[in-house]
Structure 1
């Protein structure tokens, strides 16, 4: 799905979901309830997001959060439901996803509405929350592999969640998919092609395979793949951190607090470059999302070049005599 298609869908949603008191919403969206008011909530370049205040048949007043796009909404619903099962006190409860009865190509996702501030979360409490998600989900992969049972998205960019036996393989697949999407936005580049070849044959094996060889071991866990200030907010009511839909300013303090709960994987001396490798994928994501902005590709290529220069020999497995 292109940026233009997403923008068109958001504009169409503005015409369909009216704002204000006592509005009429689609039957599939709010069956069995009275809509009290619909107001804008949050902001997104990719979907329309609104707050819906309703009265249930028993008189209970509830507030819900809604966004749209069927494959995106299904991925959001399933993944958020799973995250909620591991850290329910930190994630709004997912309620439903589906399509409108009146307009079959208009889709939605609904979860509990929680009022949040625009403040950054406390590093220590954030580190506890994120590590709790990872620790609680460790060993719970339904196949024992790395992956996910359906497509999820970073904005409108689909992730390759194919099940794999190793983290090296999964991340390689995910990086290839991101590079394909980035090239779709900015076109082919000879220098980037050269760097990509070395990235997959040298850098990724060198940085990731040591975590799974030579007596080292890692285990699949559930990861929220887009933890940034727009997705992590303190609640207005209790200041608890939320990993929820609504390198930035969340810097080293957050990493340090996380490592008070979960230590870096071995070999620890590779952590900084693994960190850079993972961050590079998000520079490519931004490049894919903004086809008229060249600086994200430039940033990713500079980091690629640094790692290619640092690890020209790639992964060399130790020989046991």
Structure 2
């Protein structure tokens, strides 16, 4: 998010739309509510690297009041973020309305430069504790099992983003082909963002050419098929919350795609994610049986984790080096198992003395900007 929009959104401006506020409410935001509505207050919430957020109290015609969550971001990245998240949350809401705050609308601010985009949803007052494993996994299993791709394919009808980074979501009939596209896209972005790394490039090419066709391709051989399931696709603890009023677990900030359901749990293997504790994966597998081949479940989980680690590296280049190295190690593990290099060939393994510490990287980055 640019400095100018951060300043503009956080400064109070008097106007006809609010009676108490520390956050500017644009006229196009007000227009998303029924005619005659009045924004009674707009209170600024947390600010992340890419967005500014607020809690709105809106009086509808007739006197009833409702609360809404507003997220604002700028420029083309802000447009993709707001539009993608609105459509992702709307898709989840169709299947599991008790799992996400009700999406309301998205749009573009009427005033100001640079161009600013917003997302509106109903406000749910939530604790920021890690979610209850059983409730989260029970709800996720229902979402995965009951959702149905509108095309019967893998992908999504509009671009969705993890953080500020767009995913490659155009439709594919094959899960193997779709995942290959996802990984190629994020590795290319990582090289553009963090610089070319020859050894990683060698590993990535071998993973794409030989490992994925064997490992992920096995899901679609011998008469097996993968059901395209709606997944959240960015499910770490900061994108979950527990209602203070009802105790229900909610998820938000979705980057949804129709994918192999097991990809959801790949994010839980990442060590920057507090949902990486084994209890979450074990609980999920009580509700959803692993795909065949069963004995390759952990290897698939590692492969999916590589995607999320590379996406983290793209979004957090100042704090992503250790995560990038983790992806390198995981690629090497899978290459050794499925497509080993001939003796005395291939890139070198990373030495402990060469590693960047994940905790050290995290210490150098503010907590609200080191996560997606």
Q: If the length of structure 1 is used for normalisation, what is the TM-score? A: 0.90
Identify unmatched segments of 5+ residues in structure 2.
73-77, 255-267, 342-372
Distance 1:206 1:65, change over 3 A: same
In structure 1, what is the equivalent of residue 91 of structure 2?
82
Identify unmatched segments of 5+ residues in structure 1.
1-5, 315-321
1:238-293, CA deviations, whole angstroms, 9 ceiling, x for partnerless residues?
11111113932212111111112110100010010110111111111121122233
> Cα RMSD between the aligned structures?
2.1
Other structure's SS at 2:25 match: coil
Other structure's SS at 1:179 match: helix
Aligned length: 307
Comparing 166-175 and 239-248, the one that deviates more = 239-248
Other structure's SS at 2:126 match: coil
1:144-164, CA deviations, whole angstroms, 9 ceiling, x for partnerless residues?
111111100000010000111
Where do residues 51-200 of structure 1 align in structure 2 (5 Å cutoff)? 51-68=55-72, 69-103=78-112, 105-137=115-147, 140-200=148-208
1-side partners of 2:190 and 2:103: how far apart?
31
Comparing 257-266 and 98-107, the one that deviates more = 98-107
Where do residues 1-321 of structure 1 align in structure 2 (5 Å cutoff)? 6-8=1-3, 11-15=6-10, 22-23=20-21, 25-31=25-31, 32-68=36-72, 69-103=78-112, 105-137=115-147, 140-245=148-253, 247=268, 248-250=273-275, 251-293=277-319, 294-312=321-339
Distance 1:265 1:43, change over 3 A: farther
State whether residues 46 and 52 of structure 2, in contact with CA within 8 Å, keep that contact through their aligned partners in structure 1.
no
Other structure's SS at 2:218 match: helix
1:80-134, CA deviations, whole angstroms, 9 ceiling, x for partnerless residues?
1110010001111111101112237111000000001011111111110100111
2-side partners of 1:196 and 1:307: how far apart?
11
2-side partners of 1:81 and 1:33: how far apart?
23
Comparing 55-64 and 152-161, the one that deviates more = 55-64
2-side partners of 1:25 and 1:191: how far apart?
49
Q: Which protein has greater RCO, CA pairs closer than 8 Å, 6+ apart?
A: 1
Q: If the length of structure 2 is used for normalisation, what is the TM-score? A: 0.78
